Amino acid sequence: MKMDALVRYDIPAEIIALWRERESDNLLPLQELVVKRHGLFDGGNLLVQAPTSSGKTFIGEMAAVQTALRRKKAVYLAPLKALAEEKYLDFKEKYEPYGLRVIVSTRDHREFDRDLEDGAFSLAVVVYEKLSQLLVRRPERLEEIDLLVADELELLADPDRGAMVELLLTRVLQTRCRVLGFSAVLGQADKLAEWLQANLVFYERRPVELRYGVLYDGVFRFRTYNDFGEGEEPLVPLESESPWEILSENVCALSDRGEPCLIFVKAKHESRQGAERLAARVNLPPADDAIVALQKLEPTRSRDALLKTLRNAVAFHNADLSPEERRLVEKAFRAGAVKVLVSTSTLAQGMNLPAQNVFVSADKWRYDRRFGMPWKTPILRAEFENMGGRAGRYGAGQPFGRAILVAATRFDQETLWRRYVESPPEQIAPRLADTPLENPAVHLTAARFCRTEQELQDFLENTLTGQWVWRERYTLDEVAFRVRAAVNQAVDAGALVKDADGRLEATPFGQAVAAKGITLDTARELAHWISESETRLWNDLDLIFAAAMMPDGRMPCVSLTAQEYERADYVGILKQLTQEEALAADVPLNQMRNCPQMPFFEEVRAVKVALILRQWIDHAPLRDIEEQFHTMTGQVIAAADQISWLIDATAALAVAVGAQAAFIERMRTLAERVQHGLHERALPLARLSKPRLTRNEIAALIAHNLHTPDAIAAAPIMLISGDLRAVW
């Protein structure tokens, strides 16, 4: 189908010309199928299940733009902040010149939150959690959204986020809003489509063929994705019991042939070390443009390591990198300057990268909150499909791609083949089934979506968990008992009240809990900190540490080695820094200071997080923080994001309980400081600068007492560059 044929669906010629320039003169087969046979532009819910690189994302983009052109609102849900920002920048560049108002809302991007609440947008790119929280504060906005594009529906199976996604989609399904869902191939797609009240579009072909299978003893045994044919391809033979050695030899050979290679590993340190080892073995030209761009960024341990590996066109990608470093690596790989990229699963969702060969580790680390520790487990069949599908991307000019599992023994070859080639994909496991129901009860009541126990029961029975799990596991009386118990717990916590007629209403406290997306357990502990702290003197470290100790403040992403736990004496540093503080208040800081025994592992991690963020808001250079606390910049930024959110939630709870205005304002200011890593007097620069200045640039200005626009305008030219002067 020619792109020009879309004019019959009321797509303006200017938009079609843009799509033809950016995409192709023709729609891909899946896109044509959805437009012609499944009424993409006609209405009705759709669930599109298709392999990566088949064109799902552009289907959502076409539908969202057509919705906006009819002066209706479209929301594009993304699973990750990085993916949301990528989509936002792409949509903004393409459609704002035409008059569409495009906004983005993530924890990193809060500048459009008011526009999202007010409905001042044509197309909004939003992470799932932000939309869920918006609908607590402004539930009527859901009635104004005409189309919801839900990308990466595999998120329903996420142990930490799946329950929230399930509740959000159940709410949407009970309105007139249209849902367009995307996922890779999953088991029992028909059942998922039935729950979504959607027409299932199941498509199994890729525009570029993919060979997926197992490399053993120098032979790559594969199955082809499109025609299910099997074959063998000789690669590099190597007698070794080390899968990494086998992988390395083959990556060197493939990259020498000019074939880009993407390697997925299970841990952040493996990605960095793997890139360093491969950079020492390959013979590739340096990624000069990436090196020059990287040298302009603030020094970090990751930046310095990347500068070395990029000399041989090798890079790594993980959550320890800063956002700027990650974007630079992705750009260099897309441009072909980086030929070998070693990554954790940070690149597995939605990123369009031109790898011809993808090597996948068959194991992953999973953090279990019940035990407070990670454990190694095999990846799922669907995860192999998602990661392996990064190979052979449409438009990269490659005849086919390879998704390769490496086996060191005959046993590994046979078991890997059976599990990841011959076995069917797993069914989604609903996560609400494992979630305490008092949190959904507060959320749904606060949003005025459910006002009685019966309405809560009816709603929960219509969730994915209710349809797939409870119907088989519980009677109606048992479900009613679980709902009643959850409501009673929420009432006891002060989040809900129930009148004599059984009507439920969220208290101001419950409204704050739901609007900020925190759990009741965390809210109770924060409320206790508020009651203990409103009338006493407390320092910033006190609240930062309290937030880090909350159930929602647990951050396994911040590394803490066994050696650090035993020898670093972070607790001793905390006690020394707060030795002048009073010990009377019953708050986490004093509990730690008064404890004569060795704290638990997670408690020491919380101390480490608090000490890191104390340096962060005091303008310490990132490299100094990394060295002092054996951490990485990405961990610092992740901790700042999490703790800033919890401090902001504390301020909202303080409003709900009627705390003093000055007390509330101090917490809000601290939340903003933690988010940006700045002194209080630097916040006006962070708020006013357009485009946004970096933390490093703001710190440099503050060091010269240039903390206002007037001071910057009057500064001698040698103190400030023309570029920074132009910002104002």
- Distance between CA atoms of 671 and 694, rounded to whole angstroms? 18
CA separation, residue 357 to residues 330, 360, 363, 405, 516 (Å): 16, 10, 19, 11, 42
The predicted structure's pLDDT at residue 717: 60
- Distance between CA atoms of 67 and 627, rounded to whole angstroms? 50
- Distance between CA atoms of 513 and 520, rounded to whole angstroms? 7
DSSP summary character for residue 680: G
Q: Where are the alpha helices (DSSP H) in 420-507?
A: 438-446, 453-461, 464-465, 471-473, 476-492
Structure tokens at 700: 């440099």
CB contact set of 234 (below 8 Å; sequence gap of 6+): 218, 219, 220
Residue keyed to tokens 């485009």: 691
The predicted structure's pLDDT at residue 725: 40
Q: Which long-range contacts does 662-667 make (Cβ < 8 Å, 24+ apart)?
A: 663/533, 663/534, 667/543
Average pLDDT across each block of 10 residues of the chain; the chain has 728 residues. List them in order. Answer: 92 94 92 95 93 90 95 94 90 94 86 88 95 91 94 89 95 94 86 95 91 96 94 92 94 94 94 97 96 95 97 96 94 95 80 86 80 79 89 80 95 96 88 91 95 96 94 92 96 96 96 96 97 95 98 92 92 94 93 91 96 97 96 96 97 97 97 95 79 81 79 66 43
The predicted structure's pLDDT at residue 82: 84
Triad 190, 347, 620: Cα angle to 5°: 135
Nearest to 399 by CA among 430, 437, 439, 356: 356
Q: Measured on CA atoms in the order 38, 44, 47, 52, is the torsion positive or negative?
A: positive
- Distance between CA atoms of 339 and 310, rounded to whole angstroms? 10
Please return the burial class of 579, using the count of CB atoms within 10 Å of its CB with bins 0-12, 13-18 and 19+: exposed
CB contact set of 35 (below 8 Å; sequence gap of 6+): 1, 6, 9, 27, 41, 62
Please return the burial class of 422, using the count of CB atoms within 10 Å of its CB with bins 0-12, 13-18 and 19+: exposed
Q: Measured on CA atoms in the order 526, 532, 534, 536, is the torsion positive or negative?
A: negative
Triad 89, 91, 93: Cα angle to 5°: 65
583 in Cβ contact with 593 (< 8 Å): yes
- Distance between CA atoms of 669 and 557, rounded to whole angstroms? 25
CA separation, residue 104 to residues 65, 138, 337, 515, 702 (Å): 15, 17, 30, 18, 29
Helix/strand/coil (H, E, C) string of 255-300? HHCCCCEEEECCCHHHHHHHHHHHHCCCCCCCCHHHHHHHHCCCCC
- Distance between CA atoms of 56 and 64, rounded to whole angstroms? 13
The predicted structure's pLDDT at residue 242: 92
- Distance between CA atoms of 284 and 251, rounded to whole angstroms? 12
Cα(first)–Cα(last) distance of the chain, in Å? 49
DSSP summary character for residue 469: I
- Distance between CA atoms of 108 and 238, rounded to whole angstroms? 46
Structure tokens at 5: 């044929």
Nearest to 421 by CA among 250, 229, 233: 229
Torsions phi, psi for 147 (to 5 deg): -135, 130
| Segment holding 552, helix H or strand E | none
DSSP string, 499-532: -TT--EEE-HHHHHHHHHT--HHHHHHHHHHHHH
Counting every residue, how long is the chain?
728
The predicted structure's pLDDT at residue 110: 77
Structure tokens at 396: 């990269």
DSSP string, 128-183: HHHHHHHHHH-TTHHHHEEEEEE--GGGGG-TTTHHHHHHHHHHHHTSS-EEEEEE
Nearest to 115 by CA among 388, 685, 124, 22: 124
